[in-house]
Structure 1
Amino acid sequence: MNRFSLPDKTLRLLAAQVNLNGTFHHSCTFKNTNLSLSFVLQVERSSSGTLFTLLTGDEKHSLTVYAPDKDTHLVLADFIEAIANGRMDSAEPAIPRVLAESVDRGQLLDTNQQEQLHQLVCKGGSLLLDIGMDEAVSLAVHRTHSRNGITAILVAGNSCPRTQCFTVYGDNQHSFNRLLQSLDHLAGSAVPAAFAA
């Protein structure tokens, strides 16, 4: 899940900038690090389409959109992230952002993260997970003693945190599945804000 991605604020700016002519400065950040990739975006609108030119270091990439619509900024965001993550020179096409969102939801956690989550369900404790959002998700799990189950608290974000808290009874697999479902809902609640622009 560690990769360069555009912050939510940049997505909102792109939504406005695709309708303007001009030069704009942005950066992609590498998840959970201080690394960033700065780039310059030049937008040239004409009657036949819109030309987007991306300048980063000594590289220059261009994208022309002939029928701009309300999702043009998402197409541009996919293009920028593909360049930042090095997918532009491969034969592998980038997964469209909306489709990638649904694929990522099905595979929210990698194998190592699933094992960490399973251990958390079995033993209790706390964990910090990177599930592909701008900020990591904090989890705290308490094993209930009166009945087999867990009480879980999930928090995503610091400045405007989204939280979930629940108690579920049943075996460890049932508790694990419920925690995965809750993580999926938490990730889903954060995604629409990024695409509302």
Structure 2
Amino acid sequence: MNRFSLADKTLRLLAAQVNLNGTFNHSCSFKNTNLPLILVLQVERSSSNTLFTIVTGDEKHSLTVNEADKDKHLVLADFIESIATGRMDTAEPATTRVRAESVERGQLLDANQQEQLHHLVRKGGSLLLDVGLAETVYLAVHCTLSRKGITAILATGDSCPRTQCFTAYGDDQHSFNRLLQSLDHLAASAVPAELAA
């Protein structure tokens, strides 16, 4: 099964739009294909949750996300990627990709690996991690000088590499949590389709 991954520009747009009410037109480009996904995103916010409605052609999908979830744009991105992959066949939202395929953080890394990640967040450097996938995960972390935070690059795979890059500002714990979250997403995208089903 082909796994579509939204381009960084689209993720930045979604991060802003999840905090607004309104209708937004998107021509989503994906990192691993030249085919765009044309969609209309409708955002309806309330005090307790946000309702996202995705209209693509004659299909309509909806997703409700709790307002307390800080990474609503990532949940929405996973939902859009699932629609593009063809895993959504009803208007009722299925479990999002991150929830369905992600290994629980406690199972993904052992205590030694978590300590190695804490060290990377504090000092910077690079690391090879075996998280139980067929391929090793490569991490490179740079501690930013202008403000407290990190810039991280994560990659896995040789024949079909998957990469993530981000900058997170905040204390060490915030940066560590963002690194774990990105590692979760990367591991989820690398899980073979037969194991994810």
**Greater RCO structure (CA 8 Å; 6+ sep):** 1
TM-score normalised to the size of structure 2?
Answer: 0.49
TM-score normalised to the size of structure 1?
Answer: 0.49
